[in-house]
Structure 1
Amino acid sequence: MTERGSAADQMLGGFADKLVSLTDEVLFADVWARPDLAARDRSLITIAALVAGGNTEQLPFHLNLGAQNGLTEKEMVEAITHLAFYTGWPRAMSAIASAKGTFHSDESAEGEPK
């Protein structure tokens, strides 16, 4: 949470306040805080679910959260690579492009500096 509010509040506050409230108070303050699964594991599961569902719009936030929760870039890339065989090549390629953009925003898709 920042002075300006959560990421959900910054994105949707004033437009979808109930969704912001559920995101902040139920999803992140309750579900993510449950003690029986480490935040690192929750991040890995969430990243896998987003890749499997083709939901790359939410991926950068969760890749960064995964890094905060102890996942390495290599681990996240390896998970996405592994998922290519289970979720489909196009979903994995879209996800890996999102990951590259998240972790290496100073490079273009062709590997040339921006």
Structure 2
Amino acid sequence: MADLVACLSTGKGTWVEVAKLINNEKWDSVYLVTNDFGKEKFSADKEVKFVLVDVNKGMEAMKNTIVEALKEKVSGDVAVNFVSGSGKEHMALFSALMTMGVGIRIVAAADSEVKEL
């Protein structure tokens, strides 16, 4: 399959959707862009790697953190989900992936499967 990169932050009920995405597909690796609270509180049935960002530092700093964490770890096409988090986090993740030159496939959880949008 591919790697999954998803935001995991604010938004009522969004963590359930992220968990469905992780559990309903066979991913090479799963990377969650989140904060310390998300790393501490989120649990999944499969292994995930956390990319910790500080939303108070601004979008460019978040983007740089994401690039540094993911470079040489993801390549080719990356499945991406933005259901959780704020616009700042979404923009930082999108910009980081574009900077790294990877292909982006937007995915969402649909019942017991993952759909590409």
TM class, shorter-length: 0.3 to 0.5
The TM-score with structure 2 as length reference comes to 0.33
Question: Considering only CA atoms, is the larger Rg found in Structure 1 or Structure 2?
Answer: 1
- Structure with more strand by fraction: 2
The TM-score with structure 1 as length reference comes to 0.33
